[in-house]
Amino acid sequence: MRTSFGLCLAALLLGSSSLFGQTTNADAEKALSKGQDAFEDDKSNAAIRHFNKAIELDPNYADAYYYRGEVYSYLEKYPEALADFSKAVKLNPKLGEAFQGRGTVYFKTSKYAEAVEDFTRAIRVDRQNASAHNDRGQAYFKLGKFNEAITDYTRAIQLDPEEASTYFYNRGEALFNINKFPEAIADCTKSIELDPENPEPYYIRGLNYSQLKKTEEAIADFNKAIETDPDNSNAYAFRGAYLNDAGKPAEGMADLDKAVELEPTNPVGYRLRGRAFTLGKEHPKALADLNKSIELDPGHHWSYFWRGVVYSNLDKDADAIEDLTKHIELNPGSPNQEAYRIRGACYAESSKFENAIEDFTKGLDPKFSGDPSQNLCYYGRAEAYLQTGKKEEALDDVNKFIDQDKKMAGAYNLRGRIYNAMGKTKEADEDMKKTISPEK
């Protein structure tokens, strides 16, 4: 996702008419101007000294606190930046840029709810602020509130067509996350038309093409993303994940390794490589990568999902339930049927059958109809119903499973046990025979 947080930095360098004229001390204003010039020349420490001087000359100079906060934010000195932005808005509640700057710090430190609040305050000060709408959209995105994010990105596009390439791409990524693949492709294509040198919309469009089984288009976009920016770790990570899914694990792992090598502090490479290790049953390697991904980005739900899958495979059901619950909490706006199914199975293994029934039922939501994993929810719920003495419900569920999958011997074994519990020994015997030779 491309940020618009740099626009705040541009405002710092160029100045903003809404910020000046807030001191009667001419020397303080001169010090502020020198600080801006120093920062424009990439002299951050000198800039801070000048802003310090401006504050010394006028302790109530809100602009000086704001600009010093921007430099601290740039230097990733977030506690200092927060203190300065907070002081600025206390002195001048109409200083929308300071609310936006503080929101940016909250975003960078994974405090997305607080970021939304501050970006909203910035928008209240200036409802024509396109970058604040975009930034709030990004915070909503991190919270899994994709529809709210899309609304904000759309508003940003309307307000600032010159920056629309960034906003189209961000909206395309949000659309991807709610499975609106054609619409996401259209937005990424528009972003590429406006800025063909930005690699990000290429790989997101590639992911959308892969979801639509358009293999050639997907690979072409991943290749283009890397061609446009050979050092872009995300492009390698996504291409690697796709190649792994396409049955080319060696090529995929080479790309995923390259992604981590290029940017060791980027959680995306670790997350997607951890996913590949999970699918390949390489559990220790998967845990190492997913732990690293969570360390770098504790707010990303998929890292918890895949680590939960690993724990489930290792029969660490309590750990799996904790991680899958975290995934669901962080991702409330998207379908979570697979997470419910796996968590339901973990509850069942832990003899928490009522919890299991609840999760399998959520996984059977009609809106997920057609998902291959959904049928397994019938199987899991049938077992849980049997364990809680609900034999009729169990029989109904296992029959639904068998209607869709007549080749699984375990389903006939389960139905046989249900028939035995109901006292229907003839039907039970017939099903037990099918466990040896299920239908073709």
Query: What is the structure's pLDDT at 18?
Result: 39
Residue indicated by tokens 């030779």: 437
Query: What is the structure's pLDDT at 351?
Result: 97
Residue indicated by tokens 């740099």: 6
Q: Is 110 helix (H, G, I), strand (E, B) or coil?
A: coil
CB 104 within 8 A of CB 115: yes
Query: What is the structure's pLDDT at 144?
Result: 86
Joined together, the tokens standing for residue 340 give 């419910």
At residue 167, does pLDDT exceed 80?
yes
Query: What is the structure's pLDDT at 67?
Result: 93
Query: What is the structure's pLDDT at 334?
Result: 66
Which run of H or E residues covers position 35? helix 26-40
Instruction: Give CA–CA dist 426/424, Å, rounded.
Output: 6
At residue 240, does pLDDT exceed 70?
yes
What confidence tier does 368 reach under pLDDT thresholds 50, 70, 90? low
What confidence tier does 407 reach under pLDDT thresholds 50, 70, 90? confident
At residue 277, does pLDDT exceed 60?
yes
Query: What is the structure's pLDDT at 20?
Result: 41
What confidence tier does 41 reach under pLDDT thresholds 50, 70, 90? confident
Residue indicated by tokens 């360098």: 13
Nearest to 138 by CA among 161, 165, 157, 119: 119
Q: Is 354 helix (H, G, I), strand (E, B) or coil?
A: helix
CA-based torsion, 290, 296, 299, 300: positive or negative:
negative
88-98 tens-digit pLDDT: 999 999 999 99
Instruction: Give CA–CA dist 279/4, Å, rounded.
Output: 35
Q: Please give the mean pLDDT across all residues of the chain.
A: 91
The distance in angstroms from the start CA to the end CA of the chain is: 47
CB 293 within 8 A of CB 267: yes
Domains and CATH numbers, the chain: 1-159 (1.25.40.10)
pTM for this entry: 0.70
Q: In 350-424, which ranges are continuous DSSP H helix?
A: 353-363, 374-387, 391-404, 409-421
CB 238 within 8 A of CB 302: no
At residue 387, does pLDDT exceed 80?
yes
Residue indicated by tokens 């929308």: 96
Amino acid at 152: D
Instruction: Give CA–CA dist 104/67, Å, rounded.
Output: 14
Across the range 301-326, mean pLDDT stands at 97
Across the range 261-278, mean pLDDT stands at 97
Instruction: Give CA–CA dist 22/127, Å, rounded.
Output: 22
Instruction: Give CA–CA dist 333/328, Å, rounded.
Output: 9
Across the range 44-71, mean pLDDT stands at 92
At residue 437, does pLDDT exceed 80?
no
At residue 21, does pLDDT exceed 80?
no
Contacts of 227 (CB under 8 A, 6+ apart): none
At residue 53, does pLDDT exceed 60?
yes
Across the range 41-57, mean pLDDT stands at 90
128-141 tens-digit pLDDT: 999 999 999 999 99
Across the range 173-183, mean pLDDT stands at 94
* Number of Cβ within a 10 Å radius of residue 342: 26
Q: What share of the chain is helix, strand, coil (3-state, %, to 5)?
A: 75, 0, 25
Of the given ranges (16-20, 185-189, 261-265, 380-384), which has the lowest mean pLDDT? 16-20
